[in-house]
Amino acid sequence: MKQISPLSALLATLFYSFAVALQGHIYILMFLPPLFLACVDFKALRYVLKKLLFLNIFIIIIVISLLIERDFHNALLIFIRSNLILTTALLLFHKRDEFDIALSLRQLHLPHKLTSIVFFTARGIFLIKREFGLFKKALYIRGFKPKTDLLSYKIMAGFVGILIIKAYERAKFLQKSMILRGFKGEVYTLRAHQAFGFYDTLLCLTILISPLLRWGVIV
């Protein structure tokens, strides 16, 4: 979703999520933001649908528990509401990394300590993902196939232990390096902020219209 700036994506996701989550009914216009985003980036639908299938496992468990209690209204409401929020968030952030959120918070002129915490957390997540990817490749090359046996549990436990040790050592190294660089609680970047464009305007309009115009009750 390169046509939409990270700041617009972050604000739109927060506003739309709160607006939809606090509604007692589902209206037709609430489907407008995900439909607009799907039209802007139609090629991402396949990836988003795959993610939704995985994320819906927990949602379906909740829905089934409500159906057992014969609470059909809340079951359908939770299912549609959760998928609207997840679809919108995935369409906005599927091509972005963790650093875009940190830079968006900095662009909002929030306290430097908060943006620094988010930035270093994003860096930690990025490094853990990289370590996990290397670990999976190493196991694949060695012909390892995970099973529900003691050997698999030992290998995964050893990997988690290595991650914890590396995270601790990396934190100490990062602290020393930031002290040497004269870190004063603010993170600077050379990445330019994306300007507010035409698609950002359309996104803001659809996000504002969808929860405010309560027309066409579905649930």
pLDDT of residue 162: 85
Q: Which of 40-44, 151-155, 183-187 shows the lowest mean pLDDT across its residues?
A: 183-187
Among 214, 217, 216, 210, CA closest to 36:
210
State yes or no: pLDDT of 217 exceeds 60. yes
Residues 10, 73: one domain? yes
- What is the number of H-type helices and E-type strands within the chain? 8, 0
Residue 157 located in a structural domain:
yes
pLDDT of residue 1: 54
Task: Please tell me the total count of domains within the chain.
Answer: 2
Residues 23, 92: one domain? yes
- Global pTM value: 0.74
Among 218, 131, 134, 202, CA closest to 169:
131
Residue 187 located in a structural domain:
no
Rounded average pLDDT over 72-77: 87
Residues 89, 118: one domain? no
pLDDT of residue 143: 83
Task: Determine the structural domain holding residue 80 and report its residue range.
Answer: 6-99+194-212
Question: What sign results for the dihedral spanned by CA atoms 137, 91, 128, 146?
Answer: negative
Average pLDDT of every residue of the chain = 82
Residues 42, 79: one domain? yes
Helix (H) or strand (E) holding 193: none
